[in-house]
Amino acid sequence: MNEFELFETYLQILNELYETDSRIYFYPGDDKLNMKRNSLLIEKLNLASQLETTRDKSFSKSAHERMIKQLGVIISEINSVDPQLRIDRNQGLILKNYVFSKVYHYLDSQILFPVGGVFMHLLYYSNNFESSIAKEDFIKFIQSEISILSSMKEINYVVLKAFLDTFFIRVNESGLLN
């Protein structure tokens, strides 16, 4: 299997593990579910090890480069808009702070699809202070994400997935949520 095929299998195992954990929550004493969970954990560790040690990491390196470019495109778009406007937190939806989910999904897509480019997208802007984020603060957060990605010494899908898995922790720690 090549690196991307290993990663697809890794994602399938993560999904099965999530589903099994959800079932265990409702049936905690089910030995079959617990054995399945243990088997999935071993398989997850095995696949993670294979992903970390595979020689050809061209897919993950490409995804890494596209993630950095994607964040750069977001900054460029923000800088091209009227300086008086602020970034709408909810992006025209009723989902509070959806703008961060939007960024997450752009980055996730760079990992999930082995080829492709960055997404040209439009963010919604507002002049309503209460439901928006200052562009400078948002750009500072995006730049910190670029810095984290750029400072990665070892690039592979496990590291990139871990970066995504901790994205909302960093959002929460940024102080940009309201």
Q: What is the spatial distance between Cα 130 and Cα 178, in angstroms, rounded to a whole number?
A: 9
Q: What is the spatial distance between Cα 151 and Cα 78, in angstroms, rounded to a whole number?
A: 24
User: Which pTM does this prediction carry?
Assistant: 0.85
Residue 125 vs residue 61, higher pLDDT: 61
- Per-residue pLDDT at 177: 85
Residue 155 vs residue 117, higher pLDDT: 155
CB 159 within 8 A of CB 78: no
Q: Which of 116, 158, 119 is nearest to 6 (CA)?
A: 158
Instruction: Catalogue the E-assigned strands of the chain.
Output: 86-88, 125-126, 132-133
CB 34 within 8 A of CB 24: yes
* Sequential DSSP letters for 57-124: -HHHHHHHHHHHHHHHHHHHHHHTS-TT-EEETTTTSSSTTHHHHHHHHHHHHHHHSSS--PPP----
Q: What is the spatial distance between Cα 5 and Cα 114, in angstroms, rounded to a whole number?
A: 10
For residue 178, what are the contacts with CB-CB under 8 A and spacing of at least 6? 89, 97, 130
CA dihedral of 113, 65, 173, 123, whole degrees rounded to 10: -70
Report the first-to-last Cα separation within the chain, whole angstroms.
Answer: 45
Q: Which of 8, 9, 7, 30 is nearest to 20 (CA)?
A: 30
CB 157 within 8 A of CB 60: yes
Q: Is the pLDDT of residue 10 over 90?
A: yes
Q: Is the pLDDT of residue 121 over 80?
A: no
Residue 164 vs residue 96, higher pLDDT: 164
Strand partners of residue 49: none
Taking residues 123-150, report their average pLDDT.
92
